[in-house]
Amino acid sequence: MTPRGQGGKDRPWLMRTYAGHSSAEASNQLYRSNLAKGQTGLSVAFDLPTQTGYDPDHALALGEVGRVGVPIAHLGDVRRLFQDIPLERTNTSMTINATAMWLLALYQVVAEEQGADLTALQGTTQNDIVKEYLSRGTHVFPPGPSLRLTTDMITYTVHHMPRWNPINICSYHLQEAGATPVQEIAYAMSTAIAVLDAVFASGQVPEERRGDVVGRISFFVNAGVRFIEEMCKMRAFGQIWDTVTRERYGVRDRRQRRFRYGVQVNSLGLTEAQPENNVQRIVLEMLAVTLSKDARARAVQLPAWNEALGLPRPWDQQWSLRMQQVLAHESDLLEYEDVFAGSHVVEAKVAELVAAANAEMEQVRERGGVLAAVESGYLKGRLVSAHAERRARIESGADRVVGVNCYESTEPSPLTADPDTAIMTVDPAAEARVVAALRDWRADRDAQRCLTALSALRSAAAGTGNLMAPTLECARAGVTTGEWSSALRDVFGEFRAPTGVSGAPVAVTAEPGGELAAVRRKVAGTAAELGCARLRLLVGKPGLDGHSNGAEQIAVRARDAGFEVVYQGIRLTPEQIVSAAVAEDVHCVGLSILSGSHAALVPEVLARLRQAGAGDVPVVVGGIIPAADARELRAAGVAAVFTPRDFGITGIIGRIVDEIRLANKLEV
C-alpha cells in the first residue's frame, strides 16, 4: 500500500488536556495557555463539591475546593472560566455527571451572553451516572431521577443544541475500577441501551428523529497498556454499537451508527515507582486508539507522567500534549488506510471480545437491565472482584509491572530529585477566597428571583415536565450549585451505592507458608492477646473523594486476613467516621483520600478521636500524598502513610496489625 500523500492526509483527532484547579480565574489562564500551545479542544475538570452538588462553604466541601478541578458555584464563575474564549468556536468537554444539567445550563447562558448561536455549540457533557454508582462516586440522586435528568438533557440538546454531545457514556472509570475489556464493553453498552430506551420511552423525540439521538451519543473509553487487546476492544465496541443501533433502534444511516468515542489513556497503570516509565506507557496506550483508522478516537487526552505523585504542573501537561502533536504531525500515521484491516489475529481477537461482551450483556439483561444491576450490587461486586484478581496477579508477579515488581533497581531520577517540586500544589488559601467570593455573589443577587426559580424547579421535579427550562432560569437568576442540587434532593432524595465488598470472593488464598497465612496468624494472635474475638478495622472515605477502589481492596484483603471490617462507603464527614469508630470499638481507623484534601480532613479526624476519648486508636492514611504532606501527617499523629508505591496489599494489612500492636504496647 502506498501513502495517499499530503493532500489526502486525515485530520488529526481533537487534542485535549484534562485541566482545572484552584479558581475560575486560574483555570481560565491555564486554558488560554494550553490553547496557545496548540491544544484543539478544552476538557474541563470540576472540583468535587461542584461534581456532587455542594457549594464551597458546605461542611462536606472542607479541603476539597479547587483540589481536583475548578470550583463552579454560579453563573459568575462560568463567565470568568471562559473569559476571552469564544465558545461558538471552541469544542468543550465537561467531565460532569450528577450536576451535568446544571453545568450545561450555565455554559449555555454564558454562550448566549457572548452572542453565540446555540445551534453551533460543540462539545460534550459526560453525564453518565451509571459509572458514578460503580466507580467514580460523584452520584447524588437515585437511579430513576438521575436517568430522568439525563433523558431531559438529551432531548433538550437534540432540539436546541444539535451539535452538542449530551452524554459521554464512560467506560473509562470502569477499567480504573478493575473492569476487564469484556466488562468494560458490556457495561457501557448496557448503559447506552438503558439511556436510549428511556429517551425514546419519554415521548419527547418523534420516531423519525431517533437517528438524530443515536448520532449524538458518544463514549469515553479507557486504553490500557495491553496494546493489541485494547485496540481490538475499540473495534469490538464499534461492531456491537453498530448492531445494537441498527437492530434495536432501526437506525439506517451508517454515519449515525458510528461508534464515536474520546479517550483518556489509563491512569490506573501509572506508577509512583520509577514514574518516568509512565511516559512510554502513555505513548503505547495512545497508539492503541490512534493507529487503527477504522477504530480511531475522535478526541484524545493524555495523563501526565507524574499523576501518581500528585497534581501535574503546566509543563507536565505540555509534555503530554506534545506526544500527541509529534504523532499527528511528524509521523506518517494519518497518510494511510487502516493498517490492521485483514489481520487474522485482530479479527479473531475482536470476535472473541464481541462474543464474550454479548454474553455479559445478557447477564445484565437477565437481571433487569443496568439500573437494576446497579441497585442489586451485581455490577459493583463484579468490578471489585475483577480488581482484586488484578491486584493479586501483580502481587504474585504473574502480571509484571516494570519498576514495581520487576526491574526495581534504578538510577536516581532528575525528574524527581526534589519530589516536593515535581508536582503542582494548590494554595490552601484559595478555598477561603472562593468561599468569600461566593458570599459576595449571594449578597449582590436578586434573592426573590432565586427563590421563585428554585420553587419552580421543585414543582417541575415533582411533575413530569422537562427540567432544562427551570434549570436555565435558575442559572440566569443567580442560583448556586448547592441550591440547585438541594432543591432536587428535596424531591428526589439521595442515593448510597452498594460497596461490592461483602460479596467479593477471596482473590488471594492463604496457602501454608504464604504471606497471607502469616498475616492471618498475626491477626488472630493479636486478637487473642487483646482478649477479643476479632480485630476490627474501620475503612473510611472522608470528604467528597469517590475514588473508592483502593479502600475497597484494603477492606476485602483485611476481611480475608481475619479482620472484622467496618466500611460504609464514600462521602463521610470526619464526625461520621469517628462516631462509627467509637460505636464499633475499632482497633484501627484507615482513611483513604485521593483528592488532595488529606491536609484538612485527617487532622480533623485525629482531633475528633481525641475529643471522643479514642485518641489511642491508631490512624493510618492511604492516597496520593506527597512526601512533605506525609511527614506533616505523621507529625500530627498518623501512625502510617501508604501511597501507590506500597502496592502489596497483604503487606499493608500486616503493617496495620503492627500499628495496632504498637498502640496496645504489644511486642512487634
CA count, 13 A, side-chain hemisphere, 118: 16
Distance separating alpha carbons of residues 568 and 440, to the nearest angstrom: 37
CA angle 566, 567, 572 (to 5 degrees): 120
Question: Measured between alpha carbons, how far is 64 from 606 in angstroms, rounded to an integer?
Answer: 18
Closest to 573 measured CA to CA, from 617, 536, 541, 611: 541
Structural contact between residues 251 and 205, judged by C-beta atoms closer than 8 angstroms: no
- Cα four-point dihedral sign 189, 190, 191, 192: positive
Residue 64 contacts residue 49 (beta carbons within 8 Å) = yes
In the block, which residue shows the cell 475529643? 611
C-alpha separations of 470 from 455, 457, 482 in Å? 9, 5, 16
Would the CA dihedral through 51, 53, 56, 57 be positive or negative?
Answer: negative
Using the Cα atoms of residue 653, residue 654, residue 655 and residue 659 in order, give the sign of their dihedral. positive
Output the CA torsion sign for 477, 478, 483, 488.
positive
b/e 115-148 (16+ beta carbons within 10 angstroms → b): ebeeeebbbbbbbbbbbbbbbbbbbbbbbebbbb
Distances (CA, A) of 554 to 141, 557, 566, 567, 658: 27, 5, 11, 10, 16
According to DSSP, the residues that pair with 167 across neighbouring strands are 217
**Residues noted as catalytic:** 18, 172-173, 541, 545, 547
Sheet containing 217-223, strands listed edge to edge, beginning at the edge strand earlier in sequence? 14-16, 299-301, 261-265, 217-223, 167-170
Q: Strands 42-45 and 18-19: what pairing? A: parallel
Minimal CA–CA distance to 546: which of 165, 97, 166, 224?
97
